[in-house]
Amino acid sequence: MSTDILKCALCGLPVEIEGFSLETVDGIKSFCCAGCLSVYSLLNGEKIKE
């Protein structure tokens, strides 16, 4: 139970690189790549904190 792998909030792949994350009303979401981040922000624009 020591592995704490983040999964991409959009596609579910393991997040290997930190840096693609977004603060939303549901908390911090992490993404595997800039593409997933931008798609998520398009789909959930109203949830994202500025």
Token pair for residue 26?
A: 């549901």
- Determine the interface stretch with Zn ion among 3-11, 17-25, 41-49 (rule: CB under 5 A): 3-11
- Determine the interface stretch with Zn ion among 4-12, 19-27, 38-46 (rule: CB under 5 A): 4-12
Instruction: Count the neighbouring beta carbons within 10 Å of the beta carbon of residue 37.
Output: 20
Token pair for residue 33?
A: 């790549």
Kindly state the smallest distance separating residue 9's Cβ from Zn ion, in Å: 8
Kindly state the smallest distance separating residue 39's Cβ from Zn ion, in Å: 8
Residue 37 near residue 44 (C-beta atoms within 8 A):
no
9 contacts Zn ion (rule: CB under 5 A) = no
